[in-house]
Amino acid sequence: MAGTKDGGSGKPVAQRLLATATRLFAERGYDRTSVQEIVEAAGVTKGALYHYFGSKDDLLHEVYGRVLRLQQERLDHFARADAPVERRLRDAAADVVVTTIENLDDTKIFFRSMHHLAPEKDKQVRAERRRYHEQFRALVEEGQRAGVFSSATPADLVVDYHFGSVHHLGTWYREDGPLAPQEVADHLADLLLRALRP
Amino acid sequence: MAGTKDGGSGKPVAQRLLATATRLFAERGYDRTSVQEIVEAAGVTKGALYHYFGSKDDLLHEVYGRVLRLQQERLDHFARADAPVERRLRDAAADVVVTTIENLDDTKIFFRSMHHLAPEKDKQVRAERRRYHEQFRALVEEGQRAGVFSSATPADLVVDYHFGSVHHLGTWYREDGPLAPQEVADHLADLLLRALRP
Amino acid sequence: MAGTKDGGSGKPVAQRLLATATRLFAERGYDRTSVQEIVEAAGVTKGALYHYFGSKDDLLHEVYGRVLRLQQERLDHFARADAPVERRLRDAAADVVVTTIENLDDTKIFFRSMHHLAPEKDKQVRAERRRYHEQFRALVEEGQRAGVFSSATPADLVVDYHFGSVHHLGTWYREDGPLAPQEVADHLADLLLRALRP
Amino acid sequence: MAGTKDGGSGKPVAQRLLATATRLFAERGYDRTSVQEIVEAAGVTKGALYHYFGSKDDLLHEVYGRVLRLQQERLDHFARADAPVERRLRDAAADVVVTTIENLDDTKIFFRSMHHLAPEKDKQVRAERRRYHEQFRALVEEGQRAGVFSSATPADLVVDYHFGSVHHLGTWYREDGPLAPQEVADHLADLLLRALRP
DNA sequence: GATGAATGAGTTTTCATTCAT
DNA sequence: CATGAATGAAAACTCATTCAT
């Protein structure tokens, strides 16, 4: 990539800054992380940060963007698969768990910091979230219409129930805990599917 | 009575401060709410705030304390009831949803800000949370041993699944939405119980 | 004494406040001691302090007054004694050391805080100090004129030399050290008299 | 060069800040001098001060460091000279007076503010002071062993006696007074040596 | 491209003092 | 006599951002 000198740590400066910021934001929260701390931890100067990013907020938006893009791409993939709806929902439900755990820092930041987005950006992010939510809901509704899922609970609530557990992962999941990401994902997808049994 | 002077707004100063702080913390987040904003909104001076609360953190801890106390008391009540375990778990699961919605500001603050507690306070809060979690888990395990709940999923995960949906309420629940708190509670408890069917 | 209720600690409130303030001022300095700390340590309320003393400064002035009065009285006594001038100077020089050590908290405060007196009070205290200094100097000059003390050093400097050592006591003297107050006093008076040998 | 921008007053900012702070600390005392007053007097902003100094305390430590370094270097020089012990002690005793007067602001601050150092820094400063004291004492003891000084007074006390007069200089010495620094120094050294005559 | 000195508005907190009760 | 809630001004310090070099 052009214009990305390497400070001697094997990574372009912009990437190193973003990775460092992500780690620090997840550890101590966005507001509790100073620009000074980020540049010190990344081994660059303030000038360099402001060369690559317009503001501290920009760093946060990069994280948001990454999370949104990733989740949307994965869901697109699983929703469009050629398989029965139970299979597609289960795969999507499990996959969002795995990718959330694999990007736990990013998703922690995402869920914790959403509430201090500027109005315009907030609107945009909410729109993307809604699109994601609705695509997931469509899977549930498809199964309900087909009779393979119970219709006892509104599809919206079902989606929020599952996403709640995803949102919650950042609170309790530990890398060195007893369950591998895939195991957690299987269990949580299982719970969802069992709850939907007619 | 101590601490009960009325500044003309019909409420003791300390209570007014806490209510105002709770509202603002929920709206904009703890770090984004300045002491100045709190006292202005409450119509008192900074000195008054520091007369009643040792620090801004103290206000936060008051909120935590209230949430923890409330949830623990309710759970104690439902867990000890004289009823089949399915009933006790369902009631407890629905009740935590209702009380969370009824105290949505407090619980929003609680889940969002837990991560910037000071080490000592953090330890204490974690211990209380763990106790709560374990009492809930005990209900699930009791039902699993009795064979009325499926043992396919570890009880810990089941608890985190349900709590995820509680944690998540702050993100999507709107007072003016289509569902009353009790309706949401019934649906979510239903999903939990259905997921646990053997 | 009239109007001095006893809080149950065996001492009139005003005295207890002054004693507590003296101790705290000596320990942490006047500016670093808050009125709150004084009343807490004395076991009374702020209202009580402001009932007996007009301000925090008043407490300091009480200490100043005590020190000035004490030193002046003692010097008067020794200077007027019926004895050879060497004896009178030695006794006065030793006595100021003993009484300084016996009231080390007060004198620490006195020397450390003199520089933040209000202009009027400052003038008064300086005048009293000067009077004290001059009376001491008169003893030295008397001996110089009589030929029993060397005139090699101006009497003013001699007095400042000795007072320097008194001033300095607060910096190094420890109650649990190897020398009793009287021993220190004898040695320091000895040094003064030896320095003045013709 | 780093930190050497000139605000238009002919001196690097950091130096100007330190000089201003030293003057103000000496005039009104450390606690009575606000950071605001320092930056206003130095013609810079608070941010600039905190760019160069970590805290208000840091400014104080810079002063301490300068005083300690200066005094230690001078004493090293005089103590190691190739001359009889009487000469070495007299020179050292006179020199500390001259350099104290020449840096009267710094030494005023040093003696007045030592008592509110943070524990760690306090330890360090005490250690350096002790080293200085002991080196001075060693000179006295050497003379006592050699029989050129009286042993009537413990060497420790002799050192404190002389240092008392140095400490005291800040209280009475005026630049526009009748005695030049060197004259004061000669007189005080004289008094010390006369007091030590066998 | 990159630096780092400097800004200025903002932060939380402290504290001597007053006054209605 | 004594209380303690409340004040208001000032304190030290932080920090995202800018800009001359």
Contacts of C22 (CB under 8 A, 6+ apart): C63, C105, C106, C109
What is the CATH number for D136?
1.10.357.10
Examine residue C163 and state whether it is found in any structural domain, yes or no.
yes
Q: Please, where are the H alpha helices in C80-197? A: 85-102, 104-113, 119-146, 155-172, 181-195
Q: What is the mean pLDDT of chain C?
A: 90
Q: Rounded CA gap, C41 and C18, in Å?
A: 11
Owning domain of residue C48: 13-52
Q: Rounded CA gap, A15 and C197, in Å?
A: 82
B30 and B61: one domain?
no
Q: Which subunits have 3 or more CB–CB pairs within 8 Å of chain D?
A: C
Report the nearest residue to nucleotide E15, CA vs C1'. C34
Q: Which subunits have 3 or more CB–CB pairs within 8 Å of chain B?
A: A
| Chain D residue numbers touching C158 (CB-CB < 8 A) | 191
Q: What are the distances in angstroms from CA A178 to CA A133, B141, B156? A: 30, 18, 11
Asked if residues D7 and D43 have their Cβ atoms less than 8 Å apart, the reply is yes
Mean pLDDT of the region A178-190? 96
Nearest CB neighbour to C168, from listed D163, D184, D192? D163
Examine residue B176 and state whether it is found in any structural domain, yes or no.
yes
Distance of CA D114 to the CA centre of its chain: 11
Chain F: nucleotides below 7 Å from protein CB are 1-20
Rounded distance in angstroms from the CA atom of residue D33 to the C1' atom of nucleotide F11 = 11
Examine residue D104 and state whether it is found in any structural domain, yes or no.
yes
Residue C4 banded pLDDT, cuts 50, 70, 90: very low
Inter-chain residue contact A150 with B194, CB threshold 8 Å: yes
Q: Rounded CA gap, D66 and A81, in Å?
A: 75
Q: What are the distances in angstroms from CA C185 to CA A197, C92, C96? A: 96, 10, 8
Rounded to a whole number of angstroms, the distance from the CA of B153 to the nearest CA of chain A is 6
| Domains contained in chain A, number | 2
D35 and D117: one domain?
no
A68 and A153: one domain?
yes
Residue-wise pLDDT for A45-67, tens only, equals 988 899 999 899 989 999 888 98
Residue-wise pLDDT for C56-92, tens only, equals 998 999 988 888 899 999 999 999 999 999 999 999 9
Q: Rounded CA gap, D69 and D63, in Å?
A: 10
How many Cα atoms sit within 13 Å of C66 on the Cβ side? Answer: 21
Mean pLDDT of the region D59-85? 92
| Chain D residue numbers touching C116 (CB-CB < 8 A) | 28-29, 32
D90 and D29: one domain?
no
Examine residue B2 and state whether it is found in any structural domain, yes or no.
no
Contacts of A51 (CB under 8 A, 6+ apart): none
CA nearest to A126, candidates A55, A64, A57, A56: A64
D67 and D151: one domain?
yes
B48 and B60: one domain?
no
Residue ending a domain, among D37, D52, D67, is D52
Nearest CB neighbour to C188, from listed D150, D161, D168? D161
Q: Rounded CA gap, A5 and D5, in Å?
A: 29
Q: Rounded CA gap, C110 and D112, in Å?
A: 12
Rounded distance in angstroms from the CA atom of residue B36 to the C1' atom of nucleotide F9 = 15
User: Quick one: pLDDT at residue C10?
Assistant: 56
Distance of CA B74 to the CA centre of its chain: 11
Q: What are the distances in angstroms from CA C122 to CA C125, C127, D72, D191? A: 5, 8, 35, 31
Q: What are the distances in angstroms from CA A174 to CA A19, D24, D51? A: 20, 55, 39
Q: Rounded CA gap, C13 and C43, in Å?
A: 9
| Residue C176 DSSP code | T
Rounded distance in angstroms from the CA atom of residue A34 to the C1' atom of nucleotide E3 = 19
Mean pLDDT of the region C26-30? 90
Q: Give the residues across from D6 on adjacent strands.
A: D12
Inter-chain residue contact D167 with C167, CB threshold 8 Å: yes
Q: What angle do CA D13, D16, D18 make, to 5 degrees?
A: 110
Q: What are phi and psi of C180, to 5 degrees?
A: -75, 155
B156 and B62: one domain?
yes
Q: Rounded CA gap, A62 and A125, in Å?
A: 12
Please report, for chain B, how many H helices and E strands are present, in that order: 9, 0
Using CB atoms and an 8 Å cut-off, which of residues 79-138 of chain D contact chain C?
111-112, 114-116
Examine residue C80 and state whether it is found in any structural domain, yes or no.
yes
Q: Give the residues across from A154 on adjacent strands.
A: none
| 99-118 of chain B touching strand E, CB 7 A cut-off | none
User: Quick one: pLDDT at residue D4?
Assistant: 41
Examine residue B103 and state whether it is found in any structural domain, yes or no.
yes
B86 and B46: one domain?
no
Inter-chain residue contact C115 with D112, CB threshold 8 Å: yes
Rounded to a whole number of angstroms, the distance from the CA of C163 to the nearest CA of chain D is 7
Q: D69 at the C interface (CB within 8 A)?
A: no
| 53-112 of chain D touching strand E, CB 7 A cut-off | none
Q: What is the mean pLDDT of chain A?
A: 90
Examine residue A3 and state whether it is found in any structural domain, yes or no.
no
**Tokens standing for residue B36:** 């100045």
C89 and C72: one domain?
yes
pLDDT at C5 over 60: no
A34 and A116: one domain?
no
Asked if residues A68 and A60 have their Cβ atoms less than 8 Å apart, the reply is no
pLDDT at B10 over 70: no
Mean pLDDT of the region B163-185? 95
Q: Rounded CA gap, D63 and D121, in Å?
A: 13
**Tokens standing for residue B67:** 């949430």
C184 and C128: one domain?
yes
Contacts of A167 (CB under 8 A, 6+ apart): A111, B164, B167, B168, B171
What is the CATH number for A25?
1.10.10.60
A74 and A39: one domain?
no
| Chain length of chain C | 198
Examine residue D8 and state whether it is found in any structural domain, yes or no.
no
User: Quick one: pLDDT at residue B4?
Assistant: 40
CA nearest to C190, candidates D36, D151, A48: D151
Chain E: nucleotides below 7 Å from protein CB are 1-20
Q: Rounded CA gap, B26 and A141, in Å?
A: 33
Residue-wise pLDDT for A72-110, tens only, equals 999 999 999 999 999 999 999 999 999 999 999 999 999
